[in-house]
Amino acid sequence: MEGVGFEPEKAFDGNNMTRWASREGTDPEWIYVDLGTVRQVTGVKLKWEDAFAKQYKIQVSTEASNPGQWTDVYTASNGDGGIDEITLSPKSARYVRMYGIERGTPYGYSLYEFEVTGPSAP
């Protein structure tokens, strides 16, 4: 994490003025959300700050506590920042992760918001 004020929960607070930021200058970096129970996930929306991912994966896990085994459900190979709206075929997941492989800038990775969409718990 970049420092105080850029904690992971800032990417899930519904406030476009706050953000999560990874450590600067390192790959890979990642952030994940715990949905509380296994749900059917149908999409992800990433609102990038200027420090975006050029290459990243969206991964899911159904582990009961603390994800261990991740499954790739989307791969971006030429990200350009801004807003990425990703539609997925329904996937069962308790945890959803953005796994940054390659930074698009010399800095780190930074998200204003990381939204997960899908119906309620099955």
φ, ψ of residue 12 to 5 degrees: the values are -125, 15
pLDDT at 1: 57
Question: What residues form DSSP beta bridges with 53?
Answer: 103
Report d(CA 3, CA 35) in Å as an integer. 25
**Does residue 121 carry a pLDDT above 60?**
no
Q: Are 39 and 92 in contact (CB under 8 A)?
A: yes
pTM comes to 0.91
15-68 pLDDT, tens digit each: 999 999 999 999 999 999 999 999 999 999 999 999 999 999 999 999 877 777
Report d(CA 81, CA 84) in Å as an integer. 7
Question: What residues form DSSP beta bridges with 89?
Answer: none
Report d(CA 16, CA 3) in Å as an integer. 18
